[in-house]
A and B are shown apart, each in its own frame.
Chain A
Amino acid sequence: MSKEQPKLKEDISPNVVPMIDIMFLLLLFFMLGADMAQRESVDMVLPLADQIKEQKENEEVPTTTVNVHHDPNLDCKINDSAENGCREKGHWIWSVRGITHTAETLKTQLQIDADEFLEDSETPGAGKKLSAKKLLIRADGKAPYGEIQRVIEIGGGVGMYKVEVAGAKPAAAP
């Protein structure tokens, strides 16, 4: 009577359960970090200033954001190569909530935004009720100053006197 050697079944398949757990966590992290919504802010290189105070995301005060940036549809190599960027007047655009505006349409849009939140009483010097809404100007560091100044003038003309200019803090030196 021969004894049969028992066949040893060795299971060499790796346990993938921890890997799937980690992958789920990574997926969750990147999904929460992704921002798919249309944002008021356009990607641009903001001017640097070390005195800047960081913006609080949950500020209650209503704000209209005007972005001043180089037209991405133009194939302008000067803006990328020159130290001070492109100086052509027609190459810089204003956009509010993703929509590009001319001077006339910007004035109309800002007037609508300004009239949404008026102050309670008339300002004596201005002779009308000014807007309680803030005007936040996000301009590329290379943008011509004149473009920003015109936005300020248009904002002032419609009663938006609370002007803010956005910037970024320089990276800390190692």
Chain B
Amino acid sequence: MAGGGEAEDNPVNINVVPMVDVIFCLCVFFMCSFKFKQLEGKFTSWLPKDKGVGGASDPGEIREMRVALFWEADTQKVRRQYGHREVPDDEELKRILDGAHQDFVKQGKPDTPVIIDGAFEVPWQSIYTVVNICKALEIEKIEFAMGANAGK
């Protein structure tokens, strides 16, 4: 008699329940250990090749774009200065650096770097914010210095 095979005709019965259990466990394991990676990028800041490790600036140059960051231990805050002027606001610092950079460009010195001079304790994010402002203004030359004394 023709017809489809009945279940009873199949002598090999595979029990898939353990397999489903194991797959559930593996799924839970990988779902719990799964992490979305934070998208990362980078800024380049190549050290000057021709000045050696010390990187001393040309003593003939008096004018420079120097952003100093100080760490106030009593208030646990960062104080930022451009020259002798305090610049807490990012937009104001951006305006100042843009103006200074344009001045140097007009003088034929477009490669004048921005020197970021921070105290040891200054959080890296504060320094990075200044680097970010420089990149927004297309100032490629950035130098890192460490000489700003706290409280001064």
Contacts and interface: CB of A to CB of B under 8 A. Distances in A.
* Chains A and B form a bound pair: yes
Interface of A: 16, 19-20, 23-24, 26-27, 30-31, 33-34, 41, 46-55, 68, 82-85, 87, 89, 123-127, 130, 136, 138-146, 148-149, 152-153, 155-157, 161-169
B27 A23 contact: yes
Q: Say whether chain A's binding surface is mostly helix, strand, loop, or mixed.
A: mixed
Given A143-B123, A146-B121, A164 B49 contact: no
Contact of A123 (B20, B39, B43, B49): B49
B40 interface: yes
Interface stretch (B28-36, B57-65, B99-107): B28-36
Contacts of B44: 162-164
Nearest to A163: B45
A164 B42 contact: yes
Contacts of A23: 20, 23-24, 27
29 contacts: A16-B20, A23-B23, A27-B23, A27-B26, A30-B31, A34-B33, A41-B40, A46-B38, A46-B40, A52-B42, A52-B132, A54-B41, A55-B41, A87-B71, A89-B120, A123-B50, A126-B50, A141-B124, A142-B123, A144-B124, A145-B119, A145-B121, A149-B146, A152-B47, A163-B44, A163-B45, A165-B43, A167-B132, A169-B41
A137 to B, nearest CB: 9
Given A49-B132, A126-B49, A169-B41, A16 B16 contact: yes
Q: Say whether chain B's binding surface is mostly helix, strand, loop, or mixed.
A: mixed
A54 to B, nearest CB: 5
Contacts of B115: none
Contact of A168 (B34, B41, B49, B77): B41
A144 B125 CA distance: 9
Contact of A125 (B27, B33, B52, B145): B52
A93 to B, nearest CB: 14
Closest A-B pairs by Cβ, 5 of them: A125-B50, A146-B120, A30-B30, A52-B41, A47-B128
Contact of A34 (B20, B30, B38, B51): B30
Interface string B65-79: 000010101001110
Contacts of B71: 87
Contact of A51 (B53, B76, B135): B135
Given A51-B136, A125-B52, A148 B45 contact: no
Given A20-B23, A166-B40, A49 B131 contact: yes
Contacts of B131: 49, 165
